[in-house]
Amino acid sequence: MKYLITFIVIVIIIFVTINTKNKSKPKPSKITTPLTSLKWRQWDGKSPYSAKEIVKNATNLYYNKTGIYYNVTEIFLNQKRIINGTNRYRVKYIAVQCILDKKNESQKSGKKINKSPKNKKPQCFETLEIETPLQALLRDDTQQNQLVLNVTNLFTDDSYKEIYKKDQRKKKLRKIN
């Protein structure tokens, strides 16, 4: 009888230890919402970033990547949403393509103009009549301390991206290569 009780106790202990090893620890469920459920909300286009400045930077980015410069004619949509603590600002606008003066000559002196970083904005010689819809998306990633600017030509679906590092002391943006 003594051996029977000891045997039963040992079997129960072995059974319990095997069951606890086989059971996996419950993983904490990460609650995420699909991107389709997070809707864009209207945004005033003024704070904390200006929609006009976002559009200006987006057209310069598009010009630097493609060599095609656009003049903005109308900003028709300012929206904002927050995904995982990151603010995203969307600005949709209409622009017309510029034909740039390739000669780079001064009309008065006939000398070539040296390109300098101060004179970044290209001079528009004339514009095409075709209106092109563009979208600028600014992501303010405070966790990584950076701003990400995406510009998309909605007509051709060409998209370009630039990352700017935020400097806390000077509050200026530095480009990351």
pLDDT digits (tens, 9 = 90+) for 39-91: 899 999 888 899 999 999 999 999 999 989 999 999 999 999 998 888 999 99
pLDDT score for 173: 53
- How many folded domains does the chain comprise? 1
- Whether 98 is covered by a domain: the verdict is yes
CB atoms within 10 A of CB 173: 16
- Whether 3 is covered by a domain: the verdict is no
Residues 158 and 150: their CA atoms lie apart, in Å, by 10
Find the domain containing 47 and state its range. Answer: 39-175
pLDDT score for 105: 42
pLDDT-above-90 percentage for the chain: 44
- Whether 124 is covered by a domain: the verdict is yes
pLDDT score for 124: 83
pLDDT band at 109 (very low <50, low <70, confident <90, very high): very low
- Whether 146 is covered by a domain: the verdict is yes
pLDDT score for 2: 84
pLDDT-above-70 percentage for the chain: 74
- Whether 68 is covered by a domain: the verdict is yes
Residues 79 and 102: their CA atoms lie apart, in Å, by 37
- Whether 117 is covered by a domain: the verdict is yes
- Whether 2 is covered by a domain: the verdict is no
